[in-house]
Amino acid sequence: MITISLCMIVKNEEAILSRCLDTVADLVDEIVIVDTGSTDKTKEIASGYTDKIYDFQWIDDFSAARNFAFSKATKEYIYTADADEVISPENRQKFLQLKENLLPEIEIVQMIYGNQLQFGTVYNYDEEYRPKLFKRLREFVWQEAIHEMVRLEPVIYDSDIVITHMPTSPHGARDLKNFRKQTVEGKKLSKRLQNMYAKELLLVGDPSDLALAAEYFEEAAADPERDSEEIMEACCVLARSYRMSGHMLKFFKFANKVLAGAVNSEICLEMGLFYEENQDPEEAAIWFYNAVYETQPILSLESGRRHSLQGLVRCYEKMGITEQADIYREELKHLEE
């Protein structure tokens, strides 16, 4: 049987920390809690489960905090968890079976991260595999009988364990503040982080958030080192920002960049909203229809579902075609079931 260190970073989690730890504490051999500045009873609650509690001065860097937590682990494997996660009784049993039978050559275990769409997270899938269990010390092994080389890729196992995400509030405002800080400091976001920033903006960003992000995304849209996917994502953010701020010339500049290539649901939604705002429900309905039925979303799943279906209902109501509005209203009802 392998040994496991649970590593967590926390801040002001008194309301949910016990809920998390009660479902995992007896499955691991060590609990490491890194507190990044709690002002409530988080550390007091944590002390009921472990004496390995460390303070870490928050520097707006989740990776730095997690690396510090990992540095305190002493067991063979490290399991990483957030305070808003729980493991059901069925999956606790699967976790225990994994612990008893994991092959020593496996270096990363992925688990199914579920319930992601609650509170409007940036993810477009309710479940996806995420790396959750890591071998603390990796062994490098030579392979091939001739032209030998060291195996660099980790050995990954996709388990059927489901970790349930149970947030008590959205994190959008916090994340947008962090993204904004990085871009103001002149940092060029990686492809993955730029994608996450764009998703957060389309999901929870208000007009001021979008306006503050416009300069960064204009630079990204003109960056020759960015690929076409990154440029299209930047154009979607800019089209939303400039439509909401009333800069129509710039709105069409960036919308047309997308329309000239691989059209997506986000731009069709923006075009629909533009025509609806300009009292042209017939034209708006065409774009909302395209968003739902003719294109696919690249950032926000709801741009091609709920938001555009709601637009279709409004447009057909305005045109007095109530039968068609009812059809789309019924589709909305099915989405919510």
* Per-residue confidence (pLDDT) for residue 296, from 0 to 100: 96
Say how far apart CA 261 and CA 253 lie, in whole Å.
13
pLDDT band at 335 (very low <50, low <70, confident <90, very high): confident
Query: Would the pLDDT of 146 be above 90?
Result: no
| Helix (H/G/I), strand (E/B), else coil: 145 | coil
The CATH code that applies to domain 4-165 is 3.90.550.10
Query: Would the pLDDT of 208 be above 70?
Result: yes
pLDDT in tens, 179-203: 999 999 999 999 999 999 999 999 9
Q: Which fold has domain 263-337?
A: 1.25.40
**CB distance 120 to 203 below 8 Å:** yes
**CB distance 108 to 133 below 8 Å:** yes
pLDDT in tens, 44-98: 999 999 999 999 999 989 999 999 999 999 999 999 999 999 999 999 999 999 9
Q: Where are the domains of the chain?
A: 4-165, 171-242, 263-337
Nearest residue to 240 via CA among 263, 216, 268, 280: 268
pLDDT band at 313 (very low <50, low <70, confident <90, very high): very high
* Per-residue confidence (pLDDT) for residue 118, from 0 to 100: 57
**CB distance 217 to 234 below 8 Å:** yes
* Per-residue confidence (pLDDT) for residue 125, from 0 to 100: 52
Percent residues over pLDDT 70 in the chain: 96
Q: How high does pLDDT run on average in the chain?
A: 93
Instruction: Please state the φ and ψ torsions of residue 269, each to the nearest 5 degrees.
Output: -60, -45
Q: Are strands 142-143 and 85-86 parallel, antiparallel or unpaired?
A: unpaired
